[in-house]
């Protein structure tokens, strides 16, 4: 049986007895078979000595049980690592930063505390999955939408606390931004509620997030000051209709006014999440790139904008496109779409629109089959139906790792990021994961995420080692250009936090000071976001 | 979420002896008359991926055996949300299937949340005109598989194996090389597919009691 680091066998056995008394014997997991379930399925360290593994797991059912568990952990200085539904694939899964930690699995805390569809909010426990909240809303025919990421098995609480994101409208898809108040168990076992939750009897917990005094909620997101046991969320009132329209601009440099105009539309709340792409493709499309494109890329000094434009004209395709998404009543949708067309006609010569069908809710079965479900707040697992072994993909990866730097929301920034990362891959001597047509993700409504997926193998250690080296190098390259990751797996969290180095890493020093005050024994999520407790700060490399 | 104690019964066979059978390219089809005498997991669903002819063949045999068949196109969302989640939230029962990797990956992890595990796993690698079947699972089921998957009607025999997956805790593994079955696979453009992998599986309560299963069957 594994023993957590720094804990004597005797103390561990005593702690296990106390854990069992707190949560029930059935809910303390120490067998190899059980704790193996908490391995990160997409770990870039799979099978290596440095892979982050747990010593045990336990599954409390109530805030009181969490508090009891934490008090025991504090008594014996046992490192704990809370997870909600444990599905943070690509960013560490359910594995801790510190090997040997005890996972506090909050899946049993799966109550939907409240959903109000006239004030548009929900309060949920961490074990509630997006599927669960969606079912709760559907069964009661409530007039609100959730905003969910691609796999619907994640937790609104867990996802938001890792700054996770979704697909619908405005700030709703920045999940931490749309939270409102939380309850957390502190490392000493004390229970705190933030915002209006701190005022007994307040009915505005999930409406007004500030309460009074300094707002501390952010310290729990990507933080390690406590275990969140409830959260409020603002929800989008269910719109009557939805329509998409794809705007295409002809020239490479049109990316600048394209993004500027769409920023204007989005920040005025006239469109939902814009989805940028290039009709000229690039990576990710089946088959090798066209010979003509390969020749273009191999020109000394690279292709000019004019050559790109000629290439696009010859293919009878534009240079850039964006799928705009409109929500609201049919009249509002029509008005916003007309306004978008007017703006583009005035600014970008040659821009064209291709309207999709106006969909009125509820959708019929055929429409449900066609629509991009997360764009209309429907959780699903369709993302896992891709990536199978085929002739075009004879050696599919066993998982992926997201490299996700934040860049400014401008066309100039996109072109710069393409150039910088293509150069970086060339210097690293590996095929580029970025092309002149790569566009950023737009999940965050006030910034771009220039995201790349690195393959992970469960059998090729050398490949994973190389991936980690490249990843760390790209973190540095990004930082040199003022781009930092918004989220990353535990193995890279020290590297990413080191990039946020203003004033001799004053941000990290502040985090450490708060950590030392609130969690002097350093038991909760040691190392999360590069914030280590004092006793481990001395020993880490 | 059901209590784990509901799955822990007295009298579990505790020994786990992994046994590997040799690779067999051809062997007489083995009849296993004693299968019926052993307890097996009762399947509430057999999941078939309609994109693959081999999986369609499994669906046909499963229906013939009277098993509820679920057809997906690689996406388990509707099956999970409308059918399986409500069932597993109160009474997790065994399911089986022949699918691509994605559905198995998802269902296995959903199963973990409800006290279930993959108790039989088959990896079927199609390469040209042959397929290599790598199986692991209960000793009796693996023994029954020996020699049955070499012909091109292997999906039919596989279905019977899944339906009779033994409720035991001993494990074995084997690798069998056989002919491509169920008709040659083609993609949506009707292009012949010669290189892909399918996965067969049984997901069942991890602490199922063989004696209790025998009494139910």
Question: What DSSP assignment string belongs to B3-55?
Answer: -GGGG--TT-------EEPPPBS--PPPP-TTGGGS-BPPEEEEEEETT-HHH
- What the block records as the tokens of A198 is 């701190």
Q: Where are the domains of chain B?
A: 42-216
Question: What is the mean predicted confidence (pLDDT) over B168-189?
Answer: 75
Residue A343's region, left for phi above 0, alpha for psi from -120 to 50, else beta, is alpha
A509 belongs to the catalytic site: no
pLDDT for residue B19 is more than 60: no
Statement: residue B31 has pLDDT above 60: no
Q: Examine the pLDDT at B12 and tell me if it is beyond 50.
A: no
d(CA A178, CA A377): 15
Whether residues B85 and A87 touch (CB distance < 8 A) is answered with no
ipTM of the prediction greater than 0.95, yes or no: no
Residue B211 has pLDDT above 90, yes or no: no
Q: Which residue of B has its CA nearest to A36?
A: B112
- Domains along chain A with CATH numbers: 9-108 (3.30.43.10), 112-237 (3.30.465.10), 241-360 (3.40.462.10), 399-487 (3.40.462.10), 496-536 (1.10.45.10)
What is the percent of chain A with per-residue pLDDT over 90, rounded to a whole number? Answer: 87
- Averaged pLDDT for residues A20-48: 95
Considering only A82-86, B24-28, B54-58, B135-139, which range has the smallest mean pLDDT? B24-28
What is the tens place of the pLDDT at every residue in A282-297?
Answer: 543 455 667 877 777 7
Asked whether residue B7 carries a pLDDT value surpassing 60, the answer given is no
Q: Which of A42, A91, A134, A311 is catalytic?
A: A91
B194-209 per-position pLDDT tens digit: 678 999 999 999 876 5
Q: What is the pLDDT averaged over residues A338-353?
A: 97
pLDDT of residue A156: 98
Percent of chain A with pLDDT over 70: 96
A276 flagged as catalytic: no
Residue with tokens 């009074």: A212
Given an 8 Å threshold on Cβ–Cβ distance, is A391 in contact with B106? no
| Mean pLDDT across B90-113 | 95
pLDDT tens per residue across span A308-326: 999 888 888 899 999 999 9
Packing angle between helix A461-480 and helix A411-428, nearest 10 degrees? Answer: 140
**Distance from C-alpha of A130 to C-alpha of A255, rounded to nearest angstrom:** 35
Find the range with the poorest average confidence among A89-93, A272-276, B76-80, B186-190: B186-190
Any CB–CB contact under 8 A between A130 and chain B? no
pLDDT band at B4 (very low <50, low <70, confident <90, very high): very low
Q: Does B105 touch chain A (CB under 8 A)?
A: yes
pLDDT, tens digit, 9 for 90 and up, residues A505-519: 999 999 999 999 999
Mean pLDDT of the A56-77 span: 98
Give the span between the Cα atoms of B37 and B16, in whole angstroms: 21
- Say yes or no: B113 contacts chain A, CB-CB below 8 A: yes
* Residue-level pLDDT at A315: 85
**Span of A371-385, B80-94, B135-149 with lowest mean pLDDT:** B135-149
* CB spacing of A131 vs B85 below 8 angstroms: yes
Task: Sort strands B69-72 and B43-49 into parallel, antiparallel or unpaired.
Answer: parallel
Q: Please tell me if residue A385 touches chain B, with a CB cutoff of 8 Å.
A: yes
Average pLDDT taken over every residue of chain B: 78
Look up the pTM and report it. Answer: 0.91
- How would residue B127 be classed by pLDDT, with cut points 50, 70 and 90? confident
DSSP letter assigned to residue A345: H
pLDDT reported for residue B15:
30
């Amino acid at each position: 049986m594994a023993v957590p680091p720094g804990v004597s066998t005797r103390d561990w056995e005593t702690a296990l007895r106390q854990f069992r008394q707190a949560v029930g014997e059935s809910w303390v997991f120490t067998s190899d078979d059980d704790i193996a379930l908490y391995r990160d399925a997409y770990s870039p360290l799979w099978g290596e000595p440095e892979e982050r593994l747990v010593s045990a797991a336990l599954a409390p059912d109530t805030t009181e049980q969490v508090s009891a568990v934490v008090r025991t952990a504090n008594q014996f200085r046992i490192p704990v690592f809370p997870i909600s539904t444990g599905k943070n694939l690509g960013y560490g899964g359910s594995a801790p930063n510190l090997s040997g930690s005890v996972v506090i699995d909050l899946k049993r805390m799966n109550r939907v505390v409240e959903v109000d569809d006239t004030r548009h909010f929900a309060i949920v426990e961490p074990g509630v999955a997006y599927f669960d909240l969606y079912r709760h809303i559907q069964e009661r025919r409530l007039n609100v939408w959730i905003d969910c990421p691609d796999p619907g098995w994640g937790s609104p609480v867990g996802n938001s606390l890792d700054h996770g994101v979704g697909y619908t409208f405005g700030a709703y898809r920045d999940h931490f931004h749309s939270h409102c108040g939380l309850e957390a168990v502190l490392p000493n076992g004390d229970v705190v509620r933030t915002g209006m939750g701190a005022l007994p009897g307040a009915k505005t917990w999930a409406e007004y997030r500030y309460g009074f005094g300094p707002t501390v909620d952010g310290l729990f997101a990507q933080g390690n000051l406590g275990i969140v046991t409830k959260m409020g969320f603002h929800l989008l009132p269910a719109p009557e209709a939805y329509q998409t329209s794809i705007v295409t601009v002809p020239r490479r440099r049109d990316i600048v006014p394209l993004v500027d105009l769409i920023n204007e539309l989005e920040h005025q709340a006239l469109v939902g999440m814009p989805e940028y792409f290039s009709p000229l493709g690039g990576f990710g499309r089946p088959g090798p790139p066209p010979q003509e494109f390969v020749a273009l890329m191999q020109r000394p000094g690279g292709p000019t904008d004019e050559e790109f434009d000629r290439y696009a004209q010859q293919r009878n395709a534009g240079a850039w496109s964006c799928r705009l998404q409109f929500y609201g009543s049919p009249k509002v949708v029509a008005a916003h779409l007309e306004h978008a067309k007017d703006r583009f006609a005035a600014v970008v010569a040659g821009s064209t629109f291709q309207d999709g069908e106006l969909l009125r809710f509820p959708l019929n079965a055929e429409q449900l089959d066609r629509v991009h479900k997360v764009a209309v707040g429907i959780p699903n697992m369709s993302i896992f139906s891709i990536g199978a072994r085929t002739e075009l993909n004879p050696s599919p990866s066993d998982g992926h790792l997201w490299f996700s730097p934040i860049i400014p929301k401008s066309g100039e920034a996109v072109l710069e990021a393409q150039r910088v990362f293509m150069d970086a891959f060339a210097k690293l001597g590996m095929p580029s994961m970025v092309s002149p047509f790569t566009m950023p993700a737009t999940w965050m409504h006030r910034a771009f995420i220039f995201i790349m997926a690195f393959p992970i193998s469960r059998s090729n250690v050398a490949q994973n080692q190389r991936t980690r080296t490249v990843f760390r190098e790209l973190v540095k390259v990004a930082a040199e250009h003022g781009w930092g990751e918004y989220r990353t797996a535990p193995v890279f969290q020290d590297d990413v936090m080191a990039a946020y180095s203003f004033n001799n890493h004053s941000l990290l020093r502040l985090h450490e000071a708060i950590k030392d005050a609130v969690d002097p024994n350093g038991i909760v999520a040691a190392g999360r976001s590069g914030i280590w407790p004092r006793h481990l700060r001395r020993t880490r490399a | 979420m059901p209590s784990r104690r509901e799955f822990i019964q007295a009298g579990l066979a505790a020994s786990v002896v992994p046994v590997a059978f040799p690779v067999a390219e051809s062997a007489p089809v083995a009849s296993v008359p004693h299968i019926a005498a052993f307890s097996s997991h009762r399947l509430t669903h057999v999941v078939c991926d309609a994109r693959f002819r081999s999986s369609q063949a499994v669906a046909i045999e499963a229906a013939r055996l009277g098993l509820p068949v679920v057809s997906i196109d690689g996406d388990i969302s509707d099956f999970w949300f409308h059918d399986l989640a409500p069932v597993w939230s109160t009474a997790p029962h065994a399911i089986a299937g022949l699918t691509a990797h994605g559905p198995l990956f998802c269902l296995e992890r959903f199963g973990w949340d409800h006290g279930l595990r993959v108790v039989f796993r088959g990896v079927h690698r199609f390469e040209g005109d042959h397929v290599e079947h790598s199986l692991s699972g209960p000793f009796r089921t693996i023994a029954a598989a020996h020699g049955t998957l070499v012909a091109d009607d292997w999906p039919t025999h596989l279905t019977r194996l899944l339906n009779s997956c033994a409720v035991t805790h001993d494990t074995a593994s084997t690798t069998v090389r056989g002919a491509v079955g169920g008709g040659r696979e083609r993609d949506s453009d009707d292009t012949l597919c010669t290189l892909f992998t399918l996965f067969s599986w049984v997901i069942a309560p991890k602490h199922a009691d063989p004696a209790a299963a025998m009494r139910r069957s």
